[in-house]
Amino acid sequence: MDRREIAALLAYIGCLDPRTTHTDTGTALDRIAQWHELLHDVPATTAHGWDAREAVRAHIVASPYPVLPVDVARKWAAYRRDRLERHTDPTPAADPDDPAAWRSELLGTRRAVAVGQAAPSTLRQLTAGPHPDLEARLRSVGSVIPPAARTQLARYRPARAAREAATAAGQPDALSVPCPWCHAHTGEPCRNRRTGLDGGARGNAPRATPHPSRVDLAAASRTRQVAVPRPATVPGSNSARRTGPARSAGR
């Protein structure tokens, strides 16, 4: 801001906060010089959201203390920092074999964004969800991992492969319950643990297959989860008579 813009900003501050009004010409000129020294590199307005009057107004509304030039300078620094954090450097149009031109264009773009002369360049991202063609493809495949890739990955994750094979064969998922032998938590593979001479556990390598006791526990849990239908009560049966009203003692 130049001195004329500083004077206009001080007049605006005086309208909002009469405590800062100075009628003495010498005091007013000294104050303009002080503000210009601290705010000469701060623009009055930009085309992308910055207005020094809005910064002043926000301070007067939020703080009981008179506004100082450093308050405006700090808000301007926060504005610059926010814009640069939201900016992603686009690829310069200069020749990549000319490092000086490439760097000059890159820094010029950053400087324009920082001072509010250009809008930040953000990365493009998906905002409308998966494409309909992709959803149809996933439904036809049945999984986000193609079968050929899943077969190749099986040797690198044997526990997951054994779990998928058991589920495909209609067997209970052993990893759905904790292991009573090695105390592996639900969803974690079993561990090869041996008992030492002192009675403590030895070894902690993951197993490709779950312990038999864990498989039995998963099968028992699956059996308990199957709902057994309760027979309906037939009117006039013994059960209906037992649940009906009690007969009087005199009959």
- Quick: pLDDT tens for 155-201: 888 777 877 777 777 788 888 899 998 888 888 888 887 766 776 66
- pLDDT value of position 6: 93
pLDDT value for 9: 93
pLDDT-based confidence at residue 249 (cuts at 50, 70, 90): very low
Domain edges within the chain: 3-85, 156-224
Integer Cα distance of 166 and 161 in angstroms: 9
pLDDT: is 236 or 175 the higher one? 175
220-229 pLDDT, tens per residue? 887 876 655 5
Query: Mind listing the pLDDT tens digit for each residue in 21-68?
Result: 777 888 889 999 999 999 999 999 988 889 999 999 999 999 999 999
